[in-house]
């Protein structure tokens, strides 16, 4: 029996990788103009990092993490998200000590979920993290950055949804009020929500079951439990977004799937993604550093899934074609082939993509392979050309212009001029 990839973990093949690289180039440049700096963290971390940060009762920790013991009996986990690792690295290396930081990351994450369109067990995220700022201005800037991404990608703008979860004290009062409201309806709730009623009651707001949502229509709003400062900051954020011309709606039931959030949370929701409609999400997590043994570090950020984003781009018909070589180099005879390697190297050093014909092959077959490669030009070097110190240039996509010979020393400048 042949060995295959693990279910929900996919290969990125040469025929599709160019779409990923094009997307990565867009967000790399966007992060550059907003002055965010890249960080890279390990794929594997101590399990305690995620149980302490994400929350023991969260679905991610209790149901979805890839956790196992190493040979020393230590519990380790494939990272299910990026923020906890960035905070751990920041504390470990002193990145937050009397400093403000704008950081971005990208890479594969792992969750044992049911594979479906745009959602896999190994998936790729890119995210930004801003550390050291308490106000609504950094929140507005981060949301503005994400809004700029949709513009740069030329896709239909998703819908922005906002909420505020308040502080731990206000949220505790709200959780008690929510539980008291839901207790009389316990038998009417879906099974997952019944289980959460005695544990992570806030997650009931995230239920996708219609009957549970109908009950929640009459539930108290978390916004009623914000203190004056929290309300003021939430209103300031909304005013900044209005000034920036970024439309939004307030969704009082949005809670996010990670327990470390406080105050502002947000999601960008796209209609082309069906039930799994969130393409980008984040919020504030001021106390995450404390949960991991450090001092309080104000923090705000977001993450987005690249597979989902690529699905949206593909649906618009904007996927870029697979890259092709500029030049296909054809040679006949051992002496000509040796010289062809030298000339191909010179072209590559000048920045041109060159595919050498390797292996045996008659001249006609080499021409066919050159045409099939997608290259725009063929450079031909046979015994006649070699004796004259010349090469033949043949235009593969323009039959109206005849092939012509040039001196070998003119090859790089001639090709550069032809391709400009």
Contact (Cβ atoms closer than 8 angstroms) between residue 125 and residue 109: yes
Are 305 and 177 contained in the same domain? Answer: no
Q: Which two tokens stand for residue 66?
A: 């890839």
Among candidate residues 315, 349, 372, the one where a domain is terminated: 315
Q: What is the pTM of this model?
A: 0.85
| pLDDT at residue number 257 | 63
DSSP string across 128-185 = EEEES--SHHHHHHHHHHHHHHHHHHT-PPPEEEEEE---HHHHHHHHHHHHHHHGGG
**Domain membership flag for residue 394:** yes
Q: What are phi and psi for residue 286, nearest 5 degrees?
A: -65, -25
**Domain membership flag for residue 30:** yes
CATH number, residue 348 = 3.40.50.800
Are 25 and 132 contained in the same domain? Answer: yes
> What's the number of domains the chain is made of?
3
| pLDDT at residue number 151 | 93
Contact (Cβ atoms closer than 8 angstroms) between residue 177 and residue 220: yes
Closest C-alpha to 311, from 124, 82, 162: 124
What's the domain range around 295?
Answer: 14-166+245-315
Contacts of 1 (CB under 8 A, 6+ apart): none
Contacts of 267 (CB under 8 A, 6+ apart): 160, 161, 251, 254, 256, 278, 280, 281
Are 130 and 40 contained in the same domain? Answer: yes
Are 209 and 71 contained in the same domain? Answer: no
| pLDDT at residue number 132 | 96
Are 157 and 276 contained in the same domain? Answer: yes
| pLDDT at residue number 276 | 61
pLDDT in tens, the chain (420 residues): 889 999 999 999 988 899 999 999 999 999 999 999 999 999 999 999 999 988 777 778 888 999 999 999 999 999 999 999 999 999 999 999 989 999 999 999 999 987 676 679 999 999 999 999 999 999 999 999 999 999 999 888 899 999 999 988 888 888 888 888 888 888 888 888 888 887 778 878 878 888 888 888 888 888 998 999 999 999 999 999 999 999 999 999 887 766 788 999 999 998 766 656 889 999 999 999 999 999 999 999 999 999 999 988 888 776 666 778 899 999 998 899 999 999 999 999 999 999 999 988 888 899 999 999 999 999 999 989 999 999 999 999 888 788 899 999 999 999 998 888
Q: Residue written as tokens 């504030």?
A: 284
DSSP string across 72-83 = TS-EEEE-S-SH
> Angle 136-153/228-243 helices, nearest 10 degrees?
30
Are 154 and 280 contained in the same domain? Answer: yes
**Domain membership flag for residue 236:** no
| pLDDT at residue number 320 | 62
Among left, alpha and beta (phi > 0; psi -120 to 50; other), residue 293 is left
| pLDDT at residue number 43 | 97
Closest C-alpha to 339, from 254, 408, 268, 246: 408
| pLDDT at residue number 269 | 92
**Domain membership flag for residue 320:** no
Are 333 and 383 contained in the same domain? Answer: yes
Are 333 and 411 contained in the same domain? Answer: yes
Among candidate residues 264, 282, 315, the one where a domain is terminated: 315
Are 121 and 192 contained in the same domain? Answer: no
Are 355 and 305 contained in the same domain? Answer: no
| pLDDT at residue number 398 | 83
**Domain membership flag for residue 175:** yes
| pLDDT at residue number 281 | 95
Are 58 and 152 contained in the same domain? Answer: yes
Are 154 and 102 contained in the same domain? Answer: yes
CATH number, residue 78 = 3.30.930.10
């Amino acid at each position: 029996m042949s060995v295959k990839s693990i279910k929900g973990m996919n290969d990125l093949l040469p025929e599709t990788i160019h779409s990923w690289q094009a997307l990565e180039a867009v967000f790399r440049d966007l992060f550059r103009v907003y002055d965010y700096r890249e960080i890279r963290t390990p794929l594997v971390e101590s399990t305690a990092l995620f149980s302490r940060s994400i929350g023991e009762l969260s679905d991610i920790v209790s149901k979805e993490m890839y956790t196992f013991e190493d040979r020393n009996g230590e519990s380790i986990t494939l990272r299910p998200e990026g923020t906890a690792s960035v905070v751990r690295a920041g504390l470990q290396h002193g990145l937050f000590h009397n400093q403000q930081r704008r950081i971005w990351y990208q890479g594969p994450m792992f969750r044992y979920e049911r594979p479906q369109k745009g959602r896999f067990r190994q998936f790729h995220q890119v995210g930004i993290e801003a550390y050291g700022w308490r106000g609504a201005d950094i929140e507005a800037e981060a949301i503005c950055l994400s809004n700029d991404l949709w513009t740069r990608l030329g896709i239909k703008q998703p819908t922005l949804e906002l909420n505020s979860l308040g502080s731990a004290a206000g949220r505790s009062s709200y959780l008690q009020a929510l539980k008291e409201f839901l207790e009389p309806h316990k038998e009417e709730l879906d099974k997952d929500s019944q289980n959460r009623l005695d544990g992570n009651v806030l997650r009931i707001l995230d239920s996708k079951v219609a009957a549970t949502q109908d009950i929640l229509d009459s539930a108290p709003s978390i916004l009623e439990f914000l203190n004056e400062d929290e309300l003021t900051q939430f209103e300031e954020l909304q005013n900044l977004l209005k000034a920036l011309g970024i439309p939004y709606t307030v969704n009082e039931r949005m809670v996010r799937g990670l327990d470390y959030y406080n105050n502002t949370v947000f999601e960008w929701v796209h209609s082309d993604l069906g039930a799994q409609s969130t393409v980008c999400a984040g919020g504030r997590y001021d106390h995450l550093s404390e949960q991991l043994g450090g001092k309080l570090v104000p923090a705000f950020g977001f993450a987005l899934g690249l597979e989902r984003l690529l699905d949206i781009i593909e649906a618009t018909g904007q996927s870029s074609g697979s890259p092709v070589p500029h030049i296909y180099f054809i040679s006949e005879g051992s002496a000509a082939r040796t010289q062809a390697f030298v000339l191909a190297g010179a072209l590559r050093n000048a920045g041109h993509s060159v595919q050498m014909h390797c292996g045996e092959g008659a001249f006609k077959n080499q021409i066919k392979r050159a045409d099939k490669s997608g290259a725009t030009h063929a450079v031909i070097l046979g015994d006649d050309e070699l004796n004259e110190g010349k090469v033949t240039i043949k235009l593969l996509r323009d039959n109206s212009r005849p092939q012509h010979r040039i001196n070998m020393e003119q090859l790089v400048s001639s090709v550069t001029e032809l391709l400009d």
